[in-house]
Amino acid sequence: MTLDENLVRAIQEDYEHAPIAAADRAMLDYVGRLTKDATTIGPADHETLRRHGFDDRAILQMTLIAAWFNYINRVADALGVGRDRTR
């Protein structure tokens, strides 16, 4: 967490080039791939996260959190939550 608005903006615009730790970049790479196509995730990806200091519990937590946000956003999209109801 940060209150640095410039850092937040840099991460939102292009986290790959934002001034963040390698471990944070590895985590974002992982959850990005999970979001796009979870079937591409395998043991090598988990090993990469471990090399960056994440243990199995942290890997499980980041997987569950990313998957839950993906799920709940799809539910909200399907039900039109937050969209103009006149469509």
Angstrom distance (rounded) from CA 9 to CA 34: 22
* Count of other CB atoms within 10 angstroms of residue 30: 21
Angstrom distance (rounded) from CA 41 to CA 82: 31
pLDDT above 60 (res 87): no
Whether 87 is in a domain gets the answer no
Q: What is the pLDDT of residue 45?
A: 97
pLDDT above 80 (res 83): no
Whether 59 is in a domain gets the answer yes
Look up the CATH number of the domain holding residue 38. Answer: 1.20.1290.10
How many structural domains does the chain have? 1
- The DSSP output letter for 18 is S
pTM equals 0.81
Domain region containing 25: 5-79
Instruction: For residue range 41-73, list pLDDT tens digits in order.
Output: 999 999 999 999 999 999 999 999 999 999 999
Whether 85 is in a domain gets the answer no
